Amino acid sequence: MMRNAMKPEKLKPGKAQWKERPIRAVEGKKLLGQWVMVTGAGSGIGAEIAEHFAESGASIVLTELPEFLENAENEAERLQRLYGVEVLCKPLDLRSVEDIKRCVRSIEEQVESIDILINNAGVNLLSPALSLSEEQWDFVVDINLKGTFFLTREVAKTMVRHKRGSIIMIASHDGVVGSENHAPYSVSKAGLIHLTRSLAAEWAKHGIRVNAVSPTFVITEANEQVMDDPQFRRTNLPRIPLRKFAVPEDIANSVLFLATDSASMITGHNLVVDGGWTVV
């Protein structure tokens, strides 16, 4: 159920009713009554994260680029049908600070507060540093770091007023160790990890926890063909002591843990979900 009225009623979580049995068993609804915002949630890791929170009873705000918003809307309908939770969809382009502010204002017209923010949206490109253009650098860093910061700041303003909140950055093992041909991506993800620590220190007094999750390679529908390539596997699997790539559920489980009261004493932490990539 999409809500696009000019002056929508503010939504309270939990209105929708269960319409059919969930696809996976859930131990209680520990997030019932909370709103969770997930960026880049139309597919892949973002969609999996959103589903884990919906399973736990949370109401969800999905954001996606305007050209991919239909994917998020389809995901929203699926989550409502399976889990009976409220779901909103909003277009968001992290390259524009004005668009970020517009998106947050639109959400605040409909939702009392965002309790949990998952900064999942991000981009990557492969290029040798010697041939990297300014436009390529700006494209990656403006989305992954600059845009994520300004979105986090806008959402945190309400969290500060409510004296509570949980924020998760999706970083990368490339932000922990160097990686060939990934200069802007590695820099942006390392920046997110340190932004996590800085904001955790600054906002703890407001009851806001800020953490990061740094995955290794994650198999999704979008990259499955590349990651199944024999040469790719020969090059990268030996660097992972567990000898396997991650799947979206690995990341979603980690995010859910850090975002909830199960991790109430954890802030400023970067949880590396890499099968051991960064320890050898």
Where b means 16+ CB within 10 Å and e means fewer, 28-41 reads: eeebeebbbbbbbb
Q: Is the dihedral of CA 43, 117, 186, 266 positive or negative?
A: negative
| Torsion angle of the four alpha carbons 219, 221, 226, 227, in this order, in degrees rounded to the nearest 10 | 20
> DSSP character for 3?
-
Structure tokens at 261: 């009261």
- For the question of residue 83 being annotated catalytic, the response is no
Return the structure tokens found at 49. 């994260």
* Residue 32: closest CA among 12, 15, 56: 56
Q: Which two tokens stand for residue 200?
A: 């955790």
Q: Do the beta carbons of residue 149 and residue 196 sit within 8 Å?
A: no
The CB density around residue 133, as the number of other CB atoms within 10 Å, is 9
Which one from 149, 150, 185, 277 is the annotated catalytic residue? 185
Q: How far is CA 220 from CA 184, 186, 217, 245, in A?
A: 22, 20, 9, 11
CB atoms inside a 10 Å sphere around CB 190: 19
In total, the chain counts a number of residues equal to 280
User: Which single residue is written with the structure tokens 């939990």?
Assistant: 14
* Amino acid letter, 274: D
At residue 1, the 3 state secondary structure works out as coil
Residues noted as catalytic: 185
